[in-house]
Structure 1
Amino acid sequence: MKLREVGAKCFRTLEDLTVEFGYDFCTLSGRNNAGKTAVVTIIRHFLDDEDRPYLYGENSLSFSRDHTQWSSSDEMEISVRLELHRHDDAEVFFVVDKFAPTPIEGEIARVRLTETFYKSGERQLACRVNGTDLDSQNSSEIAKKLKSASNLVVHNSTSPNRRIYYLSGEMTEVLESHFSQEDRNKIADAERNLSSKVKNAAKQHKEELSQLLGRLGENYEVELTTLERSGSSRFPLNVKLNDKSVDTNLGGWGSGTQNRTRVLISVLEADRIRKSQSSESRSTPIVIVEEPESFLHPSAQAEFGKVLNNLSADFGIQILTTTHSPYMLNQTSPEANLLLERKVTRSKLKETERVDTSGDDWMLPFAANLGVVSDEFIPWKKIVGSANSKIVLVEGAIDVEYFNILRDKFPEIYALPADVEVVGYGGKDALKNTQVLQFMLSRLEKVYITFDLDAEHEVTTKLRSIGLEVDKHFCSIGIDKPGRECIEGLLPEAILRDVYAQRVDDVLALGSANSSAKKSAKSNLKQAALERFRNCSLNSADIPEMARLIKKIARAF
């Protein structure tokens, strides 16, 4: 099942809002009280089982409690739009097909549920399947099935569902683990051997959880032990995490490790629900994780954000996170990051609006969560969208072209690994915002930064301030001679003489007081030098300075 849209009219701060979820890993950002919780509440209202109320019954909505305070409307409306797959969501798909006016053709059923709450206290539910409205009774049957079919797994990092047992003289935290119907039937048939049966059923769960934890790059082992249960179809398990020197219950670990482990258990539960059902009763839940960055250092947030993104793709499960962290955003598909903010009218916060994050505004959620001006992200768009984790950062597009020419024409000296990408960052000023730079570096496995020699003093100070070391992490490019303090300065003198001789007007314009003319002349000379290098006949012995640069960068990788 995939969530594609949440809508609301006069619901809390959502006076008139539609939010679309077009990706498998989506994030929802915004300041406190921006409306994120309201969106999650709507999703839970339609998909969470009413037999498992959360937050002491807050999932029971009403006009009197949830109607937008400043609105005079007598109605409140909430809706969700879902996509069901005939195979992956067979259990619900069967019911929808049964109650739809006409048989569903194809593999996808598009279901929209809308509930209207009236000031009088009445409420009305409506359902539309593939564009066709259903009557109230059939709508109700589909809504009931969506709630009861394990279609939603929720983890709130700020107030996790924790159960504490007092066992063997100590307080033990217990996490509930979902088992398949087949496992449950076996356990029911052999109640007197419950403990051993649960241990057998838990074996695969332990292995899968260990594999997920292994994605974090830390050496955890998982130990699961069973506890007495009280007739539930879920079985309490005591969780221990072990590394080379420590063996302790989950509750004894740091808050960040505890939170990541609980989040991964929630994702694993969704995957097991999807896999463990028979073909006719299969369900693929949606996973909601609220504030997964809780208690985590920024470097751990960056790592964990990648893990959740990858798990969503690997498991084929939609994961929606609410977050205040730029590190938890979807960095492979920035348009999947949704940003909410409150409109201000006469100095008072009013309705929630969705900020446009399409096109060139992709950086707004990153900037909002990092607390910087959005324009600071513009030079880094190529890096955010890159699938590569090993990158050489160069000043601009011309520098990228030099590296491409060296790779294609001089493979004998181009020693950079094949999986290293060369990306331009748009000039030295981009390196001066160390807050944004650190965020960019955090999402990559290895980065080497280059910049023109004439910017060495101001750039080196900034890079050293965030712990980077010369030659190991960065270097300047150029020769310490006037006009050669850049990548063109590494070219043979014969090429430079030819270019300058052919473009005398541009050379003279370099001394102009007109900054625009000076900038244009410099650009023309740089482009001419690049084309001359691209088309001339040279061998590697003719470009020793280029060879030394490549060798230095290659050593860093």
Structure 2
Amino acid sequence: MKLKSLHIRNFRTLEDFKVELQGDFSSISGKNNAGKTTIIKALQQLLKDTTKQGWWGEREGIAYASAKTQWVKDSPPIEIEYSLIFSKLTDPGIYNFVIKIAEIDHDLGDEFVLKVILRHQEKEDLKQDVYLNENQLEKYVAVEIYKRIESSTLAFFHNSAEVGLNGIFSGGAMRLVQELMFSGDERKELEAEQERLKKKVKKLAGKHRAELSGLLGRLEEKYDVELTVFDRYLSGNVPLGINLKDKNLEVPLSEWGTGTQNRTHIMMSILQANKIKNDTSDLNRVSPIILIEEPESFLHPSAQAEFGRVIRSLSRDLGIQIIITTHSPYMLCQEFPESNILLDRKLFRGTPKQTEVVPVESSSWMSPFSQILGLDHESFEPWQKVIGARKDNAILVEGIIDKEYLEHISSLNIPGFSLPEGIEVLPYQGKDSLKNSILLKFVLDKFDKSLVTFDLDAHNELSRIMSNLGLTEGTDYFAVGIDEPGKNCIEGLLPPNVISAVYSKNYSLAMKSSSPNPADRKSAKNELKRLLLEEFKKQHNIGKPELSGFKKLFTAISNKFK
């Protein structure tokens, strides 16, 4: 199942709120009280996590008087409209039920869209309308479909602020548990064992039953005692204690840091969702989505960056929809920025009112990042390709020409001059981009490993910034060029014959590169850079001697990405 869109009216700050979700991963960000938690609560009204019900009771529904938009007059209903996509392959439980209950006599294709509208009115029962591919279903059918959806586990909900609250006492201590859901075939095996276990429990409980009856017999009111096995703990959902090992030492999850506990429970939810999605033996299954409030909680920024990469890649690779709320730039979707949802409150006479979606389009992709980091949009412009990178390792270079040099040399297949697999070479559009240390740190934390390169002529300007970020020269950053006049850049590493060939043919352009006019000087230098690259690519029979100038750079690359 996938959530396609959500339209909410008259619910807290969501006076008339609509959002479209794109892709399998979506983040919802915004300032405090912007409406992030309200959206999650709206989703929970229909998309239940039945694994968190039972012993702990169901989550509260909507109390109209306190939940309605307080500044709206005439008390209109609270209305939540969900647009849900169900697949024949991964959601056969709902797919087949809808076809049967709605008496559909034609093929609905691989998937269909159900629009479910819930209306809460003061002193009135909840009302439901259901549309199948935009066609409204009759009332009886709508109610039955709603009941089926509402009783299904359509979401795994994880609130990072509540990490560690679910547990059982074992050995005198509270142990964190995780519900483990089994596949259809696994449940059949369990059922056979359950029957054997129930008989054993019943036999052993006989003595305890008699003893408890004797004690209760002392009371004036007489009772019959019957001991039963809780079906909850003998069904398809089984609570398991979790231990983690570190350096061969096994430690209960409850004794690890809260950040580790948080990540582990989220990963278990993703595991279970994927297990349900791929359990072809269960014809009643519906693939759930995952809702996570603030997955970055209790994590150091570097751990946030790593965890953000992991859950985004799992969402894409497994085809499981994950929706998060976050205050962390590392949790925003960097690979597809348009899937980030930024919220803000519209001001009326200085007072924040309804929640609105701030447009995040191709021209404003940086809005969620800039709000969280407190930076202007312009700061992000040079970093668009870097932030959108889809690999975990990267070499950052000043411009596209530097990128072409590295990739061309690597394509020559000369030992010692190749780029390691699994990395991207990404241009950041000039040395000035590196001077914003806040943004640079955010960018570097995005990657598992990275190497920053810049021209040697910028070494004095940038080395202190690199050092302040804890980066080591030659390991984390590398100044490209030779410490000689005119060679303190990547072109200074070229074989002498390439340089002489270009400058002899373009004498006037070379003279112009020393012009007192800044625009002329910059234009001439850029043109010479392009001509030098083209001449270098024309060279035949290039070997190690001709590439000797690049040796230190490629050695640094090799050492960094071992």
**Is 1:71 the counterpart of 2:63 in the alignment?**
no
- Whole-angstrom distance in 2 between the partners of 1:127 and 1:477: 63
- Aligned-pair distance for 1:396? 0.1
Q: CA deviation at 1:72?
A: 2.7
Q: Deviations over 1:357-395 (max 9, x none)?
A: 221322322333333333323222223333333322111
Equivalents in 1 of 2:408, 2:258: separation in Å? 50
Task: Extract unaligned runs of 5+ from structure 1.
Answer: 196-227
Q: CA deviation at 1:157?
A: 0.7
CA contact (8 A) 2:164 2:176 kept: no
* Preserved contact between residue 455 and residue 481 of structure 2 (Cα < 8 Å): yes
| Aligned mates of 1:278, 1:410 — CA distance in 2 | 49
Provide closer, same or farther for how the CA distance between residues 548 and 304 of structure 1 changes in structure 2, counting only shifts above 3 A.
Answer: closer
SS at match of 2:242: strand
The 10-residue stretch of structure 1 (68-77 or 19-28) with the greater mean CA deviation from structure 2:
68-77
Deviation track 1:265-316 (CA, whole Å, cap 9, x = no partner) reads 2223333444557442122111111111111112222222232223324443
Q: Which residue of 1 aligns with 2:207?
A: none
- In structure 2, how many angstroms separate the alpha carbons of the residues matched to 1:415 and 1:65? 64
**Equivalent residue number for residue 549 of structure 1:** 553
Which aligned pairs between 1:308-347 and structure 2 lie closer than 5 A? Answer: 308-347=311-350
The Cα shift of 1:47 comes to 1.7
1:143 aligned residue: 146
- Summarize the Cα distance change of 1:27–1:183 in structure 2 as closer, same or farther, 3 Å threshold: farther
- Using the alignment, how far apart are the partners of 1:415 and 1:360 within structure 2? 35
Alignment of 1:253-264 (within 5 A): 253-264=256-267
Matched residue SS, 1:153: strand
Note closer, same or farther for the CA distance 1:172–1:253 as it changes in structure 2 (3 Å cut).
same
Q: CA 1:276–1:555 in structure 2 vs 1: closer, same or farther (change >3 Å)?
A: closer
Kindly report which structure 2 residues correspond to 1:44-443, keeping only aligned pairs within 5 A, or say none: 44-48=44-48, 52=53, 59-72=60-73, 74-100=76-102, 102-103=104-105, 104-118=107-121, 121=124, 123-160=126-163, 162-180=165-183, 181-182=187-188, 185-186=191-192, 188-192=194-198, 230-232=230-232, 233=235, 234-244=237-247, 246-275=249-278, 278-409=281-412, 411-412=414-415, 414-443=417-446
Distance (whole Å) between structure 2 residues aligned to residue 442 and residue 194 of structure 1: 55
Partner of 2:480: 477
Alignment TM-score, normalising by the size of structure 2: 0.85
Deviation at 1:543, TM superposition (A): 4.2
Q: Distance in 2 between matches of 1:131 and 1:161?
A: 43
For residue 477 of structure 1, report the CA deviation from its aligned partner.
1.3
- Name the counterpart of 2:219: none
Q: Any idea what SS the aligned residue of 2:119 has?
A: strand
Give distance in 2, aligned partners of 1:15 and 1:550.
58
Following superposition, the deviation at residue 256 of structure 1 comes to 0.9
1:32 counterpart letter in structure 2: N
Percent sequence identity over aligned pairs: 36
Kept in 1, the 8 Å contact 2:49–2:156? The answer is no
Q: Give, in whole Å, the separation in 2 of the partners of 1:240 and 1:54.
A: 23
Task: Report the alpha carbon displacement of residue 49 of structure 1 after superposing the two structures with TM.
Answer: 6.3
Distance 1:290 1:509, change over 3 A: same
> Separation in 1 of the partners of 2:190 and 2:422?
47
Compare 302-311 and 53-62 and name the one that shifted more.
Answer: 53-62
Provide closer, same or farther for how the CA distance between residues 244 and 524 of structure 1 changes in structure 2, counting only shifts above 3 A.
Answer: closer
- Paired residues of 2:80 and 2:117 also in contact (CA < 8 A): yes
SS in 1 for 2:417: coil
Contact 1:28/1:340 (8 A) holds in 2: yes
The CA distance in 2 between the partners of 1:248 and 1:492, in whole Å, is: 59
Q: Which is worse superposed, 442-451 or 255-264?
A: 442-451
CA deviation digits over 1:106-152, x for unaligned, max 9?
11021011123345646532111112111222111111111112212
Give me the whole-angstrom Cα distance separating, in 1, the residues matched to 2:200 and 2:472. Answer: 59
SS in 1 for 2:44: helix
Match of 1:207 in 2: none
- Flag the 1:166–1:182 CA change in 2: closer, same or farther, 3 A: same
The residue aligned with 1:36 is 36
d(CA) in 1 for partners of 2:113, 2:514: 66
Q: Partners of 1:108 and 1:32 in 2: how far apart? A: 37
Kept after mapping to 1: 8 A contact 2:296/2:331 = yes
Superposed CA deviations along residues 167-213 of structure 1, whole A, max 9, x for unmatched, are: 43333334333345435533542343789xxxxxxxxxxxxxxxxxx
Query: In 2, Cα distance between the equivalents of 1:54 and 1:306?
Result: 34
Contact kept, 8 Å, 1:115 with 1:124, in 2: the verdict is yes
Task: Return the letter of the residue paired with 1:330.
Answer: C
Residue in structure 2 matched with residue 25 of structure 1 by the alignment: 25
Report the Cα distance in structure 1 between the residues aligned to 2:119 and 2:391, rounded to whole angstroms: 47
Q: What SS does structure 1 have at the residue aligned with 2:161?
A: coil
CA contact (8 A) 1:187 1:194 kept: no
1:545 Cα deviation from its structure 2 partner: 1.2
CA pair 122-420 structure 1, distance change in 2 beyond 3 A: closer
SS in 2 for 1:327: coil
1:10 equivalent in structure 2? 10
CA displacement at 1:413 relative to structure 2: 5.3
Could you list the runs of 5+ residues in structure 2 that have no partner in the other structure? 202-227
- State the distance in 1 between where 2:121 and 2:62 align: 12
Aligned residues: 525
Query: In structure 2, do the counterparts of structure 1 residues 61 and 361 end up closer, same or farther at CA, with 3 Å as the change threshold?
Result: same
For residues 7 and 131 of structure 2, the distance between their equivalents in structure 1, rounded to whole angstroms, comes to 14
**Rounded Cα–Cα distance in structure 1 between residues aligned with 2:199 and 2:304:** 42
Q: Secondary structure at the match of 1:325?
A: coil
Q: How far did residue 465 of structure 1 move?
A: 1.2
* Whole-angstrom CA distance in 1 between matches of 2:531 and 2:164: 65
- 1:39 aligned partner, one-letter code: I
Pair 388,178 (structure 1): closer, same or farther in 2 beyond 3 Å? closer
* Separation in 1, partners of 2:415, 2:248: 47
Of the structure 1 ranges 3-12 and 416-425, higher mean CA displacement relative to structure 2 is found in 416-425
Tell me the secondary structure at the aligned position of residue 3 of structure 1: strand
RMSD: 2.9
Deviations 1:391-431 (A, max 9, x none): 22111011112223323347355233244332211111222
